Amino acid sequence: MTSKHYLNNRDLYEEVMKSQQQGQPTEKLGEMFMLLAERNANHRWFCRYPFREDLISVGTLACIKAYDKFDGERFDNAFAFFTSCIHNALKQYVKKEYDQSNIVDALKIENGLDPSYGYNDSMSEDNHD
């Protein structure tokens, strides 16, 4: 990767095609996916969450699962394809974490404990919608 960017589409595309021919992702492709997932985990929508390493892992795993679904004969923008895979996986993971934290807070209230900061406010907003 000789360009000034951290990852370029041409290199990613070539590595995906090489991996598809071999029938499994190459180590270099895995490193590229990790770079892409790390950059997406640092996006302003996801950077505030404390489980950043989990987000990187989830994004990388999403790419590994989807690498053989990329159709290199019809499309040449592997970068956009895998960025979308990561972005969707991160959104799903954050949604699951949010749902789990709401369950924990509801159980805390049920047992006479104080919920997390902001839980009561978020629940009252949800009820007004």
How many beta carbons lie within 10 A of that of residue 9, not counting itself? 16
pLDDT at 10: 94
List CB contacts of 113: < 8 A, sequence separation 6 or more: none
Q: What are phi and psi of 40, to 5 degrees?
A: -70, -35
pLDDT at 73: 92
Question: Which residue ranges of the chain lie beneath pLDDT 50?
Answer: 1-3, 129
Cα 103–Cα 107–Cα 109 angle in degrees, nearest 5: 120
pLDDT digits (tens, 9 = 90+) for 39-65: 999 888 888 888 889 999 999 999 999
Domain residue spans in the chain?
9-128
